[in-house]
Structure 1
Amino acid sequence: MRRLFGSVRSRATLAATLVVAVALVAAGTAVLLSLRSNLIGQAGTAAERYARTVATDLSAGKTYEQLSLDDDDQPVQVVDEKGTLVAATENLERISGTGTDAVRPQTPTPGPSPTPKSTAGSGDEDGDEDDDADDSASSHPGEIGEETTFTTGSATIDHHSAGYRFATVQVETDKAGLLTVYAGAPLSAEQSAVNTALTVMLIGFPLLLAVVAGVTWLVTRRALRPVEGIRGEMAAITASEDLGRRVPVPDTHDEVARLARTTNETLAALETSVERQRRFVADASHELRSPIASLRTQLEVAAAHPELLDLEGAVEDTVRLQHLATDLLLLARLDAGERPVDGRRLDLAALAREEAAGREGVSVEAAGAVEVAGSRGQLQRVLTNLLDNARRHTRSAVTVTVRRDGEWAVAGVADDGDGVPEGDRERIFERFVRLDDARSRDDGGAGLGLAIARDVAARHGGTLTVREAPTGGALFELRLPLA
């Protein structure tokens, strides 16, 4: 089970199915409630109409026997103000949900009929007066209440039981007083419609969910096919260690295509980094081999012929080897992302004067203090490397300028040598790169000074660039954020 739902496809299918299921249940519940409410409302309207019809007949003076209460689908009760059942539907056997559960009238009273005319012991004149009074009294209709209340219950008529919506209407009559009419309308249509809708939902919803799950499964399979291709190619690249290979990019403009392009860019950057690392190791091995071989030769000669030991040369080779090891260690720390540890404020102009002191032909121009934050040792190393590089290429003089430029501190080191060709102005910052004229010099370095200087500048949030100096030589500019 855990493995089954461990794929994006399975989780997407399950999520889509659950979302649709929740939506269907919510929509189905709303439909059923709305349908039930609508049908109950229709039944209530029919019950109210029937109750008011009976109330109208009572207010018109009809007797209880004259009421039309023989409808087997609509039970009716008429209750007086004492709560006594005075009229009810024929064949009514049981009822609930109204004011009384009685089903048979409990009094033979004929209902609100006119008082009979008096014929004995009276003259014609008296009889005429009574007739006029009775006619006048019976000519006033009863008053039907405007308010209707509704309840839900059940009833059994002629051995048939069903649910009903009852309407309650009150009518004020002249002879019987206040009467209450309970009339019901069957809820069988509502129950049948709700049951039918529920059955359709119980059958249709699972089928619809199955369709949604199947479609989602197929769609996600099609959408994730390029991802599987990318995964397979990445696995092949890992197995073969061939960083020159690239993953397939689908012919779309979606997230998967952007993922493939980003992956290829990452592979290209990784290939460049690995190639750079290989070249670095090869160059470092080459640079280390020369002083080590020279030192070994001198030691072997000294072992055989102590009088031929070139002690000065051995010391020079050892110092050169020590400097190279120090440079390689610093580059390794910078490649690992090491940033300035101390990060204290220091005066870049004062630091430039310290590094220039004792160097012949080097002058420093600075209007005032220019403070930056960083590692004093690393920034000293940058200025030392720039001054050493300028000394190797200058003809007569090296000028160091320190100034402010907006939010930047700028230190420039200019010489009056031949300068750096425009095509080599980025190449000289690569590791172990030395231009041909520099290789011909005996005191030329290993080609790591400028690379270290640029990496240190970058770790301090700055830049190191080269351009043509006003005197025609090279001008290296170090830019660092002001403290």
Structure 2
Amino acid sequence: MVALVTLATRLAPRSVRARTTLAACTSVAVVLLAASAAVVLLLRANLERSVEDGAREQARAVARLATDGHLTAALPLDHGTDFVQVIDAGGRVVAASQNLIGRPALAPTGARDGHRSYNLHALGEEHHQRVTTLTADTPTGPVTVHVGASLRTADAADDVTTAALAALSAVLVLTVGALTWRATGRALRPVDAIRAEVAAIGDRDLDRRVPEPRSDDEIARLAHTMNAMLERLEAAGTRQRRFIADASHELRSPLAVLRTQLEVALTHPDPDVRADLVAGALQDTERLQALSTDLLLLARLDTTGHDRADEPVDLTELVRTTVRARGPQPHPVVLRTPDEVTVTGNPLWLGRLLTNLLDNAQRHARQSVTVTLLGDAEAGQAVLDVANDGPRIDPGDREKIFERFARLDDARSRDDGGSGLGLPIARDIAALHGGTLTARDTAAGTTFRTRLPVGLVRGPSREDS
């Protein structure tokens, strides 16, 4: 059994084109076989019914002759009948057709298709017969009339019809197979072109695209989807290369400065100068540590996707705690939380989002920073605004500031310790929680607005400063 299954598996067609053609031919063959069998059976039944009707009609005519006493020893044959034999109650032949005169009475040899069969070798021919038997009362007693009708015509028509249907079915199956093979090949030609193009695309050829058929079918949509995927891969590869280049540049400068400071401190004779150099090296080390932490967090956010912690977070309490824990700031922070808002997400990442926004606001504020948390029950969102009264951002730069390592003022950002990763990390965290982060200008300066899906909004709270 296992060997048969293995052999069937090996012999089974492997290509979609061959399987489709085989399935089409098999389906058509089964339908034609059933239809041909039905046609042959109906034709056979019709012909046999006609033969039986003719034999029964002659048997009735002979029975009427016997009843009227006009029965003769030699009986004529109608068209379509092979023999007639009339037997009395004693088994003697009292009348017969010309071909059975002098022959003994026919004896039944069994039953076939619900009809009795008789030994007809006396006729000198071998073919199917349909024998009709009737009983009639005569002046001399009851007699039995046997009339045999030949099925020679029915057999011949059956054979011819079967052969014709077989030939026609074979032609139809071959035609369907050829048409299916050709149509499937034409339909799958774009798929093969897509496969060949995708196989030729390497990690450095992501700018290539698969050919898109002009038809608006599943294959065209597949090609469109493949090209959209290739565009995303190309964009992701470009971002990755740019990120690696920017990260290398960002790490190279502080490492070079750090090495210079340590080399000078190692050889400088003045202890005070060495202390200043070591202190500067420590600051650069802290900056490198912060930069590496941000890079690791970005890598984690890029690979996390939707696999994040989903737990209820009291956003109002998180905002208050984060603001109060920062200690003395270069500028005072005004906190407004009129609503009690609960969201679903990761509290550590949401705290990092607010911390990055506060760091950015403190670097650019002139006098004050304002944090406002509101719950928009109709939109089902929590709205967190972090505003500063610093210089406004040009409309053309409002998206650029969310790019990694992007700075509108490199010198100022470096002096203040900015790495160019705070806002991109904040936007990625917001997106990971199903929200958005945008920058907009206000009358007082610049506001960074975060929208997050809200879990619960409760009544008014209080204002802190």
2:316 is the alignment partner of 1:349: yes
Deviation at 1:387, TM superposition (A): 1.2
In the superposition, relative to structure 1, how do residues 362 and 82 fare at CA in structure 2: closer, same or farther (>3 Å)? farther
Corresponding position of 1:125: none
Question: What is the identity, as a one-letter code, of the residue corresponding to 1:304?
Answer: T
Question: What is the identity, as a one-letter code, of the residue corresponding to 2:215?
Answer: T
Corresponding position of 2:46: 38
In the superposition, relative to structure 1, how do residues 73 and 340 fare at CA in structure 2: closer, same or farther (>3 Å)? closer
Q: Give the number of equivalent residue pairs.
A: 433
Percent identity of the aligned residues? 46
In the superposition, relative to structure 1, how do residues 427 and 153 fare at CA in structure 2: closer, same or farther (>3 Å)? farther
2:346 is the alignment partner of 1:375: yes
Q: Distance in 1 between matches of 2:198 and 2:154?
A: 63
1:166 to 117, 123, 131: 131
1:228-266 deviation line (CA, Å, top 9, x unaligned): 32233223323x832222222233223222222222222
Ranges in structure 2 where 5+ consecutive residues have no aligned partner? 1-8, 457-465
1:404-439 deviation line (CA, Å, top 9, x unaligned): 212222222222333333333333222222223785
Q: Distance in 2 between matches of 1:361 and 1:177?
A: 136
Contact persistence 2:129–2:150 (CA under 8 A): yes
In the superposition, relative to structure 1, how do residues 74 and 59 fare at CA in structure 2: closer, same or farther (>3 Å)? same
Q: Distance in 2 between matches of 1:237 and 1:226?
A: 17
1:51 to 59, 83, 94: 59
Deviation at 1:81, TM superposition (A): 6.7
Corresponding position of 1:10: 18
Contact persistence 1:418–1:474 (CA under 8 A): no
Matches within 5 A, 1:280-429: 280-305=243-268, 307=271, 308-309=273-274, 310-339=277-306, 341-357=308-324, 358=327, 359=329, 360-406=331-377, 407-429=380-402
Q: Secondary structure at the match of 2:206?
A: coil
Question: What is the identity, as a one-letter code, of the residue corresponding to 1:186?
Answer: S
Q: Secondary structure at the match of 2:207?
A: coil
Deviation at 1:286, TM superposition (A): 0.9
Q: Distance in 1 between matches of 2:441 and 2:315?
A: 23
Q: Secondary structure at the match of 1:5?
A: coil
Deviation at 1:177, TM superposition (A): 5.7
In the superposition, relative to structure 1, how do residues 151 and 321 fare at CA in structure 2: closer, same or farther (>3 Å)? same
Q: Distance in 2 between matches of 1:170 and 1:188?
A: 26
Q: Distance in 1 between matches of 2:405 and 2:185?
A: 50
Corresponding position of 2:3: none
Q: Distance in 2 between matches of 1:467 and 1:355?
A: 23
Moved more, 66-75 or 359-368: 66-75
Q: Distance in 1 between matches of 2:201 and 2:102?
A: 85
Moved more, 326-335 or 7-16: 7-16
1:328-358 deviation line (CA, Å, top 9, x unaligned): 1111111112556543222101111111113
Q: Secondary structure at the match of 1:229?
A: helix
In the superposition, relative to structure 1, how do residues 71 and 5 fare at CA in structure 2: closer, same or farther (>3 Å)? closer
1:76-97 deviation line (CA, Å, top 9, x unaligned): 34456788765544434999xx
Moved more, 445-454 or 333-342: 333-342
Q: Distance in 2 between matches of 1:50 and 1:467?
A: 109
1:432-453 deviation line (CA, Å, top 9, x unaligned): 2222378556215221111111
Question: What is the identity, as a one-letter code, of the residue corresponding to 1:60?
Answer: D
Q: Distance in 2 between matches of 1:165 and 1:94?
A: 22
1:229 to 193, 209, 220: 193
Contact persistence 1:17–1:209 (CA under 8 A): yes
Corresponding position of 2:156: 192
Deviation at 1:18, TM superposition (A): 2.1
Corresponding position of 1:473: 446
2:234 is the alignment partner of 1:271: yes
Q: Secondary structure at the match of 1:403?
A: strand
Contact persistence 1:94–1:156 (CA under 8 A): no
Q: Secondary structure at the match of 2:407?
A: coil
1:347-382 deviation line (CA, Å, top 9, x unaligned): 101111111113442122122421122211111101
Question: What is the identity, as a one-letter code, of the residue corresponding to 1:44?
Answer: E
Contact persistence 1:44–1:185 (CA under 8 A): yes
Deviation at 1:157, TM superposition (A): 5.2
Question: What is the TM-score of this pair, normalised by structure 2?
Answer: 0.82
In the superposition, relative to structure 1, how do residues 301 and 27 fare at CA in structure 2: closer, same or farther (>3 Å)? same
Contact persistence 1:94–1:157 (CA under 8 A): no
1:302-348 deviation line (CA, Å, top 9, x unaligned): 22226333232122111111111111111111111255654322210
Q: Distance in 1 between matches of 2:428 and 2:90?
A: 105
Q: Distance in 1 between matches of 2:79 and 2:294?
A: 110
Q: Distance in 1 between matches of 2:265 and 2:42?
A: 108
Corresponding position of 1:219: 183
Q: Distance in 2 between matches of 1:431 and 1:420?
A: 17
Rg comparison, structure with higher value: 1
In the superposition, relative to structure 1, how do residues 72 and 441 fare at CA in structure 2: closer, same or farther (>3 Å)? closer
In the superposition, relative to structure 1, how do residues 232 and 346 fare at CA in structure 2: closer, same or farther (>3 Å)? closer
Contact persistence 2:86–2:145 (CA under 8 A): yes
Ranges in structure 1 where 5+ consecutive residues have no aligned partner? 103-148
Deviation at 1:28, TM superposition (A): 1.9
